Homo-oligomer: A and B are copies of this chain.
Amino acid sequence: MSNITIKDVAALAGVSVKTVSRVLNKEANVRDVMIERVNKAVKELNFTPNPMARGLRGHKTFIISLLYSNPNPGYIVELQKGAMQQGSIDGYNLQIFPCDHTADDLYETVITFLKNSPQDGIILTHPICDNKAIIKYLEDNQIPFARISPLYSDHNSPYVGSDDEKAAFEMTQYLISLGHTKIGFIKGHPDFAATQKRFDGYKRALTTNAIGFDEELIKQGLFTFESGEACARQLLTQDNKPTAIFASNDYMAAGVLKVAKQHNINVPSELTITGYDDAPVSKQLWPPITTIKQPIYQLGMAAVEKLVHIIKKKSYKDIDSIYDCELIIRDSSSPCIL
């Protein structure tokens, strides 16, 4: 945009271009006098270095890409905000690549993007972060990357995630503390990392409290409103009815709430309903739904921070990988009256 170059700054400051470059990049071995002179000239000319030239010479772009294929807009936007925040701290811009993980040509699409688009590294969200072919390509081509909430974290690659197992444990523990023992559980879509972890937390809480595990109270959902409805219909019409239903996300919880109303079952006095994700809908229903809030913003920040460390070949071991969720108690849950 601006056509002022380092040369101009150097001329005004009365130093060489390299010295200007040194000051701009905060390199060592420059006298304070020089630094001041250069900074003054930079300010006077309102100079900003040309990112393209920087990129060409230094093999850097200061661009990080965020790949996603996620049906939850609230999640994505929050993640973007967090990533942007950390990016601006570290001096990186954020490029996005929304894609469809169900598409046949996903791999080709992503690889083409990686090749044609200038970038220093990429962040992968689930479910793409578990795509073996894509991960392999990144490793083979030594493209720095970080994964958010991956299904397989045994992989020796950097990732960040929230402790879904722990959060689901705490939610179940909370329900048990309210006196519930017949707690229905609606699982999420099998393709998502979170599904198994949330289920594990639920089971662990039952075990911890010596409550028998009842297969009939577990239903397989798909994270959609409709699947929540379907599962609720089963749970609320079978002989073995739960007094509380823990849905693996808020959309499904909303579906449960709808079915409860259709059956004239009062929530929460007759049925406690809880969700997961703190989606906007959880606040907009009546009654508002008790849920779990993931540290999405934090995850976005942490992912970028790790990635930048990798790009700069610094150690990222001191950056946490797992972040805690928060239990948000609203009006859809109450003590068991039986």
Binding site for B on A (CB under 8 A): 1-2, 48, 50-53, 55-56, 61, 63, 73-74, 76-78, 80-81, 84, 91, 93-98, 113-118, 141, 143, 225, 251, 254-255, 257-258, 261-262, 280-281, 283-286
Flag if B118 contacts A51 (CB, 8 Å).
yes
Chain B residues contacting A116 (CB-CB under 8 Å) are: 48, 51, 91, 93
Nearest chain B CB to A326 CB, angstrom units: 19
In the bound complex, how far is the Cα of B251 from the Cα of A23, in angstroms?
A: 51
Looking at the complex, which one of B2, B77, B81, B255 makes contact with A77 (CB distance below 8 Å)?
B77
A-B contact pairs, 30 of them (CB 8 A): A1-B115, A48-B115, A51-B116, A51-B117, A52-B52, A52-B55, A52-B61, A53-B56, A55-B56, A55-B118, A56-B56, A73-B77, A73-B78, A73-B280, A74-B74, A80-B96, A84-B96, A84-B97, A93-B95, A93-B117, A96-B96, A225-B284, A258-B284, A258-B285, A258-B286, A261-B286, A280-B280, A280-B281, A284-B285, A285-B285
Closest residue of chain B to A76, judged by CB?
Answer: B77
Bound Cα distance A116, B51 (Å): 7
Contact among B76, B93, B95 for A73, CB-based, below 8 A: B76
Query: Are A80 and B98 interface neighbours, CB within 8 A?
Result: yes
Known: A50-B56, A73-B77. 8 other contacts (CB 8 A): A48-B115, A53-B56, A55-B55, A74-B74, A76-B77, A84-B98, A94-B97, A251-B280
Most chain B CB within a 10 A radius of its CB, from A61, A98, A258: A98
